[in-house]
Amino acid sequence: MKLIKNGRVIDPKSQFDARADILIDGQKIIAIGQDLTQADAEIIDATGKIVASGLIDGHVHFREPGQTHKEDIHTGSLSAARGGFTTVVMMANTNPTVSTVETLTEVLSSAAREKIHVKSVATITDQFDGQTLTDFESLLKAGAAGFSDDGIPFTDAGRVRRAMQKAASFDTILVLHEEDPQLTGVLGINDGAIAHQCGVIGAPTVSEYSMVARDAMLALDTKARVHFQHLSAGESVDVIRFAKSLGAQVTAEVTPQHFSITEDAILTHGTSAKLNPPLRRSSDIEKLIVGLQDGTIDVIATDHAPHTHAEKDQEFTKAPSGMIGLETSLSLGLTHLVAPGHLSLMSLLEKMTSNPAQVMRLDAGYLAENGAADLVIFDADAVRKVTTDFASKSSNSPFVGNQLQGVIAYTICDGEIVYQA
């Protein structure tokens, strides 16, 4: 048994926020209350710290199978635990892609060996061909958490509509990456002053929000559950808000990098700041923050995307897009959202626990008696310097060297300590 003492317990699902103790027996929380005692329990002193449900990230790339020189499910899980996450959902852009029951079973078998909960989506189309829909029924039975061709936007509106109709028939979720390739130049950089200074035509905001508009309306038409990944354009927030007002079953996420830094980071961090979709302008960040405040944006997700130094250490147009994010996510939220007063701590945690659980229909993301003993304990005020000492295999992050708020003390999953500072 474990007894967490004297922490500030915050649970967005129940709106509980008070100093309390939590008693854990096995994989379950058996009591939450004041001044709990248990003679034989291991005591974890949480004085001065926040105790919350383990964080949930619905958008990670663990690169297994086929790209394990960048990351694998084991190192990705260690990185997640170090960042306070107890549940993650992997994307399917592996090699081979997660398009068959055989590959999904292989991935989930590897995931089952980890000390945190690791789930996976399957692809919408076979091997990302953009045309041939996968066997949703069989993949769902094999454990798929949803369906996504993340990284390869759909140009064929009719095919998207058919995918949504199929998803609606199985009451599952489609997760979409929206960047119209017919409207983009060089991916990974916003088409604006910085791109032009670098001598390239980048990816304009319209390449994102035009696809969001199309697919939000298709979601309304088909009554499908559709989740929009990593919003970066302010207009995308307006579109999602409008679609929700019409009754579309749409949800959306933003990454910490997209609300923390602008396209200017390209000048100082080069390919470490090359992302799809790209970092945008401060005016976009302002709209993203409003979207978080009013609930238009439901979820904060990392899009944890490891790459090696050799891959990133190429000229800008050749280097892959993406950055790691699991070990900086909570700190970026505390530093750029809570500290300036944009969000309360309760609201930040809602977008990292109960909301992603609701979007992906997971029985997770809350603290309750008889509920899962998945927790994170952290000091919300302590400041740390981000170094390259990551649990991830990779260190491609533009935040290395930054001073950020928030230090994880413990991550507990199924009642066991999976990370301790």
Q: Report yes or no: 416 and 89 within 8 Å, Cβ to Cβ.
A: no
Bond preceding residue 96 cis, omega within 30 of 0: yes
C-alpha distances (whole Å) from 406 to each of 179, 321, 380, 420 are 33, 27, 4, 14
Length of the chain: 421
117 three-state secondary structure: strand
**8 phi/psi in degrees, rounded to 5:** -85, 110
Q: How far apart are the first and last CA of the chain?
A: 20
> Within 13 A of 64's CA, how many CA atoms are on the CB side?
21
Q: Which of 303, 379, 381, 389 is catalytic?
A: 303
**307 phi/psi in degrees, rounded to 5:** -140, 155
Q: What is the DSSP string of 213-264?
A: HHHHHHHHHHT-EEEE-----HHHHHHHHHHHHHT--EEEEE-HHHHH--TT
Three-state SS annotation for 143-177: CCCCEECCCCCCCCHHHHHHHHHHHHHCCCEEEEC
Q: Report yes or no: 12 and 346 within 8 Å, Cβ to Cβ.
A: yes
Tell me, yes or no, if 303 is annotated catalytic. Answer: yes
Amino acid at position 100, single letter: T
Residue 238 is encoded by which pair of tokens? 């307006």
* CA-closest candidate to residue 326, choices 264, 259, 393: 393
State CA 212 to chain mean position distance: 18
**358 phi/psi in degrees, rounded to 5:** -65, -40
Q: How many angstroms separate the CA atoms of 294 and 61, rounded?
A: 29
Q: Please give the positions annotated as active site.
A: 303
